[in-house]
Amino acid sequence: MSLQSAATGQHDAQEAAPASATWDMDPPRLGPHAYLTCFKGIVWREVLRYLHQRERFLSALVRPLLWLLIFAAGFRQTLGVSIIPPYETYVLYEVFITPGLIGMIQLFNAMQSSLSMVYDRETGAMRTLLVSPFPRSFLLLSKLVGGVAVSLLQVYAYLAVAYFWEIEPPLYGYLTVLPALILSGLMLGSLALFMSSVIKQLENFAGVMNFVIFPMFFASSALYPLWRVKESSVVLYQVCLFNPFTHAVELIRFALYGQVDWTSLAVVLGCTVVFLGGAIYAYNPSKGLIARRGGPGAGV
């Protein structure tokens, strides 16, 4: 009887050994194919969400077209634009504000992505995303790239409409502006991603519009040249210089004519690194702002 019990115990130990060994093994690592599949899924989700929301497409075009077709016609006589780089001759006011309106499209699209992040957090969709085995930095970067892809669709749709309004940069400008659009989209998207960790409810988004988006847009070179601002207020001129959105607009402006504003490029790259790093830190489950508020991912 004792021999049978010993044999049974030895057999049970042999069966339990592989099971216990599996707990000691590291979890299987995710390969490049898994990362690529996840990346495409997140980006494609953002694009599909945008394509299925026609009112979002129309609203993204209405704002800049109002400035282009209505406000610019009234300001043309009062805001003359002298010959300043990258322009080699006098230009119409509509031509000058086109890079600023492109920046407006990307700015509002970035804030729309921020709003969708808050909505996903309230509905629980973000928890499903954050508990996946992929690194959070990779998930946030994929979300950011998806937002930039959507902004590119909006920008080129605007450029197509502006072309028929005789806003015609050089043909190569439609290609050379693409890297600038990607960089500026990444910077503004990173800022919006960080802000989404601070916004607690959808109702707070209106406050963000008033205290973040509009000051960034109006205190920049989007609607008027900086030398005009300096003539009226030196303090406002300094604010515009320290505004990252100003450098995003100037980067786009020069890129439309096949040139590079190296100062703006350095500022945009630096701000992108800072904003994206802040967003990744904010979504860290142990250190970030989400965890401190007990939001999604706080306990995962």
Indicate the pLDDT class of residue 78, thresholds 50, 70 and 90: low
Q: How confident is the model at residue 3 (pLDDT cuts 50, 70, 90)?
A: very low
Task: Give pLDDT, residue 287.
Answer: 57
Q: Tell me the average pLDDT across 223-250.
A: 91
- On average, the pLDDT of the chain sits at 79
Contacts of residue 96, defined as CB under 8 A and 6 or more positions apart, other chains included, come to 81, 87, 225
Cα–Cα nearest to 190, from 107, 297, 122:
107
In the chain, % helix, strand, coil (3-state, to 5) comes to: 75, 0, 25
- For the record, the structure tokens of 68 come out as 């282009």
Amino acid letter at 121? Answer: R
Q: Range with the lowest mean pLDDT among 87-96, 119-128, 212-221, 269-278? A: 119-128
pLDDT of residue 127: 67
Q: What is the pLDDT of residues 42-69, one digit of tens each?
A: 888 888 877 777 777 777 788 888 888 8
Percentage of the chain with pLDDT > 70? 76
- Give which of 88, 113, 84 is closest to 221, Cα–Cα: 84
Cα 200–Cα 206–Cα 210 angle in degrees, nearest 5: 120
Give the up-direction half-sphere exposure of residue 290: CA atoms within 13 A in the CB hemisphere: 28
The token pair that represents 247 in the structure block: 């450098």
Q: Which residue has the higher pLDDT, 205 or 44?
A: 44
Q: What are residue 73's phi and psi, to 5 degrees?
A: -65, -35
- Whether the per-residue pLDDT at 18 is higher than 50: the answer is no
Name, in order, each residue with C-beta under 8 angstroms of 285's C-beta and a sequence gap of 6 or more.
130, 136, 291, 297, 298, 299, 300
Classify burial at 61, counting beta carbons within 10 Å of its beta carbon; exposed 0-12, middle 13-18, buried 19 or more. Answer: middle
State the pTM of this model.
0.80
* pLDDT at 285 (0 to 100): 65
SS3 category, 217: helix
More confident: 116 or 265: 265
Model confidence band, residue 23 (pLDDT cutoffs 50, 70, 90): very low
pLDDT at 21 over 70: no
Whole-number pLDDT of residue 223: 87
| Whether 266 contacts 250, CB under 8 Å | no
**Interhelix angle 244-255/262-282, nearest 10 degrees:** 130
**Residues 250-292: tens digit of each pLDDT:** 999 999 999 999 999 999 999 999 999 988 888 776 655 555 5
| Per-residue pLDDT reduced to its tens digit, 141-160 | 888 898 899 999 999 999 99
- Nearest residue to 104 (alpha-carbon basis) of 217, 6, 230: 217
Q: What pLDDT, on the 0 to 100 scale, is given for residue 271?
A: 95
Asked whether the beta carbons of 197 and 291 are under 8 A apart, the reply is no
Give the span between the Cα atoms of 290 and 288, in whole angstroms. Answer: 5
Q: Retrieve residue 299's tokens.
A: 């306990």
